[in-house]
Structure 1
Amino acid sequence: MHGRSLRGAVFWMALALALLLRGEALAAAKPNIVFMLVDNLGYGELGVYGGGVLRGAPTPRIDTLAGQGLRLLNFNVEAQCTPSRSALMTGRLAIRSGTYAVPLGGQPDGLTLWEETIAELLSRQGYATGMWGKWHLGSGLDRLPTNQGFDEWFGIPRTYDEALWTGQNESKGLWPAVGDAQGWNPKADPPQPIYEARKGEQPKVLRTLDLEQRRLMEGEITRRGIDFMTRQVKAGRPFFAYLSFSLMHFPTLPGPEFAGKTGNGDWADCLAEMDHRVGQVLDALKRLGVEDDTLVIFASDNGPEAIHPWEGSAGPWRGTYFTAMEGSLRAPFIVRWPKKIPAGRVSNEIVHIVDCFTTMARAGGAEIPKDRPIDGVDQMAFFQGRQERSSREGFPAFVANRLTAVKWRNWKGHVLWQEKMFDTPQALPIPKLVNLLADPREERDVGPHNSWVAEHLMKITDDLLKSFKEYPPIPMGTPEPYQPPVNPRP
C-alpha cells in the first residue's frame, strides 16, 4: 500500500510538473508585445547611437533599454512615414499596398480593408490590441485603426504638421501669417480631429489638433497606453500595445513640463521628454509584474527630421528622409525580451521594418497570410542569438513608387541619385555601387571593380518584379471594396 501511495504521489507530482511546464510554454508562446514607434528619430539622436548629450539631452532610459536586449545598427525603414507604417502593419513593402507615399488630400488614402494587419492576426490569437498616436494609414472612418484590428485607439488619422494650420496667425505669435486670402481656410479645410475610438463603435472627436494639443500628445499617448496595459494584466489577457509616439516629428514641441528643461532649446527638450515617456512605459511593465513576459520593441519609422528649424541628425550617414540614402533608411531599433533575447548584444546585420510584422506574429502564435506576398521574414532566431546572422541579406528601397536603390549585405546599388528630400531624383546611366563599410557617406562608386555584386542586386530586383506580375500592386487611392484579381498570372 505504501509503495502504491508513493507511486501515486510521484505520478501526481509528475503530472503537476508537466502541467506547470505546459503552462509556462503557453505563456512563453504568447508574450505581451509592446511596440514603441517614434516619429522621424534619426540614427544619431540617442546616446547609444552617438547622440544624447551631443544633441543637447542625455537619453538614459533608452540607453539602458538597449543594454538589456539587442541593438541593431542596420535596421532599415521605408523613406516616408506612411510607407514605413504600412510595412510594419502588413509585413508587405508599401509599394504593394498603394501606401508608398504620404497621401495628399482629395482621394481615398490608406490601407484597403483587404490587407491583414498585425493587430488582426494577434486579435485572432486572443490578444487585446490597442493603439495610441498617429495612424497615417487611412483618414476615412472606414479605414481607421479600429476597423483594422485594434480594439481601441486614441490619436490622429494623418500627421502632426497639420497642427500648424491653426497657427497661421501672427497676432497670436504662433506662425507667420500669409493673409486670409492665401492662408488656411477652416471652412474649406477643417482642422484635423483627435479621435477616441473603440472597435464596433463610431469614433468620437475629442478635440482638434492645434499647437497646444500638439504639445500634449506625448503625455496622453503614454497615459492611455499604460492604462490599457494595466486593464489587460488585471483581466489576465495577453496584449499588443502599439504606442505611435509623436516625437520627433515637426513641429517638434515639448510638453509643458519639459519646455526649457534642458536649456538647449525645444529639440533637446523633446529628446528628454521622449526618453522620459519610454521610461514610464518600461516602469509600468515592471510595476505590473509582466516585464519578463513582454517583448518590447523600440524603433523609429524614418530617418531624421529635415524641416527647418527642427532638423535632426543621421549620425555617420548621409542624406535625409524621402530618399534612399543611408541617413533615410537606417533608424534606431532596440528589442528586449528578458531571458529570451540575450542582453547587451549589438549587430550590424540587415533587418527591415517588414520583418517586425512576421516576427511579432510568430511570437504571438499567429499564422502568416498565404494568399498574398509577405516580404517580412521571421527574425526571432536571430534576435535570440540562435543564429548569428539575420534571416535577410538585402531588400529593394523605394522612394514613393520609384525603385531607387537595392541593398545586399554591405553593398548598395543606387539606380536613382537623390541626397535630400527636395532634390530632383537623377537617373544614373549605370547604377552607382557603394561599399557601406568602407564608405558610409556613399561618396565613391566602386562598381567597376566589383561588378560581381550586380548579380545579387539583380536577383532581389528580379524576384520583386516577378511577384508584381503574379500579384499586381494595389494602386494608390484605391477605394473600398478592394479584391485582388482572381488567380493573376504572369
Structure 2
Amino acid sequence: MSDQTTQRHPNILFILADNLGYGELGVYGGGPLRGAPTPHIDGLAAEGLRLTNMNMEPQCTPSRSSMLTGRHAIRSGTYAVPLGGVPEGLTQWEITLPKLLSDAGYATALYGKWHLGRDDGRLPNDQGFDEWYGIPRTTHETTWLTSPGYAPELVRPQHIMEGRKGEPSRELQVYDMQERRVIDAEITRRTVAFMEERARGHQPFYLFTSLTQPHFPTLPHPRFAGSTGKGDWADMLAEMDHNVGEMLAAIDRLGLRENTIVIFTSDNGAEFIKPWEGWAGPWRGAYFTALEGGLRVPFILRWPGQVPPGLTSDELVHGVDLFTTLATIAGVAIPQDRPIDGVNQCDLFQGTSAKSGRDGLLVWVDNRLQAVKWRNFKAHFYQQDTMMSPPEKLPVPFIIDLYTNPREEEGKRASGWVLEPMLKMVQAFEASLVEHPAIPMGTPDPYEPPRRCP
C-alpha cells in the first residue's frame, strides 16, 4: 500500500486484558491501592479517551464474539464459555472485523487468548487473521496438569499454538504453569515484531493483542515475581503495565504514533476465583453476573489528532460498538445481510458529541436476558450475586437508579415507569430474532441461515 493509503487507513492496536476489573488500574482508582502503579496505561489514558461506562458481555467467549462480530453472542451461538462435546466458537458464516479489514488491505494478527473455537476451521487464521499465536481456550486449564487424578491420556492438555491463513494451525508446547508465567512476555515480543515488519512495508495493520493476565491462576513472569513485595497480584499488575509500555514505546520508535489507534480494555469484569479475585472498584459483583462489576471494564483509546487528550465520558457504550466504530473508521462496509447490534461511536470517541449513539443495552448471562440498562437506570430480571449462585427469576423486575444506588443493593428501588422504554428495546430485539433466528450453540460448519418463505 502507498503512504497515502496508509494515512486513510489507521493502524489499530487492540490490547485486551483477561478478567481485569474496573478498579485495578491507577487511572480507575487502583494502581498503588492494588500494590503497583500503572504509569504506562495511565499515561495512555491521559493522551486520549477514558470511558467510565464501558460494558462488556460478562463472560470471556461472549465478549470476544461480540467485539469481533458486532453482534450479541446470543445471536452467534457463543453466549457461554464452551465446555466441550460440541463444535465450539464462531461459525464460518459470521463476518469478523479482521475479515473486513483484511479484505481492505490490512495486515491482521492475533497474539494471545482466542476462546472462540479450538479446532482447525474455527481458529483465528480461519476467521480473518493472517497469523496467530497463543492459546485456543483459556488459562485455568494450566491447573489441570497438577490436579489429583489428571492424566494426559484421559484429557489432552491445552497447547500453545500458531498458524497462518490458508494453513492448518500447529501445536507448540503444552500450556502448563511455567508457560502461564511467561506467555504474556512472548505475546508482547510478537506484537512488537509484527509492528516492526508492517512499518517496514508501510502496510496498515489490525493487531489484536489478547493478554492472558490476570485470569486465574494469576502468576507473574519470573522477572516480576517479588518485584513489588506485595504479592502475585501486584507483581502481575506491574508486569502488565510494563508490557503495555513496551508496545507503546515500539509505536513511538517506529514513527507510528500519529496514525495508530491504541485501545486498552478488558473482556469482562473482575476475576472471581479465590485467591486471585480482582477488584471492581466502586461496583459490586464480578464476571458471569449482570451486576455492574461484571459488566463495566476499563476502556482507553488514543488516536493523536483525532481524539482529544484527557477526554473522559460516562456515556453508555457496549463492546459490540467497537466492531461498527472501527469498521467505520477504517472505511469498510458494515454487513447488511444480518442484524448488527453495534452502533457507531465515532462522534463520542472523537469528542464531537457528548452523547453516546445508544440509550441502552441488553445484558445476557449465558442464554438468559438477565438485565437491561437504559440511561442511568437498570432492571434486573434475575437475582444472581456470583458466578456460583443459581440465577433466580424475580417475580417483578428489580429497578434501580445507578446514580443513587451504584452498589445495586436492595432497599433503593427506582420507579417502574422506566420499564416501558426498556421493554421496547427487548421487544425490538426479540422481533429481530424472528426475522433472523439465533444460531444454536454447537452448530457445525457449514452454516446457512434458514430460508424464510416469501
TM-score > 0.5 by shorter chain: yes
Alpha-carbon distance between aligned partners in 2 of 1:379 and 1:239, rounded to the nearest angstrom: 21
* Map of 2:172 onto structure 1: 206
C-alpha change, 1:286 and 1:80, in structure 2 (3 Å) is same
Alpha-carbon distance between aligned partners in 1 of 2:209 and 2:20, rounded to the nearest angstrom: 15
Q: What SS does structure 2 have at the residue aligned with 1:112? A: coil
Alpha-carbon distance between aligned partners in 2 of 1:202 and 1:425, rounded to the nearest angstrom: 40
* Map of 1:361 onto structure 2: 327
1:448-480 alpha-carbon deviations (Å, 9 max, x no partner): x62221111111111110001111100000011
* Map of 1:398 onto structure 2: 364
Q: What SS does structure 2 have at the residue aligned with 1:246? A: strand
1:257-313 alpha-carbon deviations (Å, 9 max, x no partner): 011100011111000000010111111100000101001110000111110110000
Q: What SS does structure 2 have at the residue aligned with 1:247? A: strand
Aligned length: 453
Alpha-carbon distance between aligned partners in 2 of 1:23 and 1:79, rounded to the nearest angstrom: 40
| Structure 1 residue 478 corresponds to structure 2 residue 408 | no
> Which of the numbers 148, 163, 167 marks the counterpart of 1:197?
163
**2:3, 2:202 within 8 Å by CA — same for their partners in 1?**
no
| Structure 1 residue 452 corresponds to structure 2 residue 417 | yes
* Map of 1:109 onto structure 2: 88
Task: Give the structure with higher Rg (CA).
Answer: 1
CA RMSD of aligned residues (A): 1.3
Q: What TM-score, normalized to structure 1?
A: 0.91
**2:6, 2:202 within 8 Å by CA — same for their partners in 1?**
no
* Map of 2:237 onto structure 1: 271
Alpha-carbon distance between aligned partners in 2 of 1:445 and 1:462, rounded to the nearest angstrom: 29
Alpha-carbon distance between aligned partners in 1 of 2:115 and 2:295, rounded to the nearest angstrom: 19
Tell me which amino acid in the other structure corresponds to 1:307: I
Shift of 1:443: 1.1
Q: What SS does structure 2 have at the residue aligned with 1:222? A: helix
Q: Percent identity?
A: 56
Q: What SS does structure 2 have at the residue aligned with 1:316? A: coil
Q: What SS does structure 1 have at the residue aligned with 2:64? A: helix
Tell me which amino acid in the other structure corresponds to 1:80: Q
Tell me which amino acid in the other structure corresponds to 2:416: S
* Map of 2:56 onto structure 1: 77
| Structure 1 residue 434 corresponds to structure 2 residue 400 | yes
**2:52, 2:312 within 8 Å by CA — same for their partners in 1?**
yes
Tell me which amino acid in the other structure corresponds to 1:98: G
* Map of 1:13 onto structure 2: none
* Map of 1:125 onto structure 2: 104
Which structure 1 segments of 5+ residues have no match?
A: 1-21, 169-177
Shift of 1:27: 4.1
Alpha-carbon distance between aligned partners in 1 of 2:329 and 2:373, rounded to the nearest angstrom: 27
Q: What SS does structure 1 have at the residue aligned with 2:212? A: coil
* Map of 1:89 onto structure 2: 68
**1:29, 1:363 within 8 Å by CA — same for their partners in 2?**
no
Alpha-carbon distance between aligned partners in 2 of 1:344 and 1:475, rounded to the nearest angstrom: 43
Alpha-carbon distance between aligned partners in 1 of 2:146 and 2:190, rounded to the nearest angstrom: 27
Shift of 1:488: 6.8
Tell me which amino acid in the other structure corresponds to 1:103: P
* Map of 1:61 onto structure 2: 40
**2:405, 2:412 within 8 Å by CA — same for their partners in 1?**
no
Shift of 1:409: 0.6
Structure 1 runs of 4+ off > 6 angstroms? none
Shift of 1:201: 1.6
Shift of 1:197: 0.6
Q: What SS does structure 1 have at the residue aligned with 2:133? A: strand
Tell me which amino acid in the other structure corresponds to 1:472: P
Q: What SS does structure 2 have at the residue aligned with 1:142? A: coil
Alpha-carbon distance between aligned partners in 2 of 1:443 and 1:191, rounded to the nearest angstrom: 42
Shift of 1:418: 0.7
State how 1:128-139 maps to structure 2 within 5 Å. Answer: 128-139=107-118
Q: What TM-score, normalized to structure 2?
A: 0.98
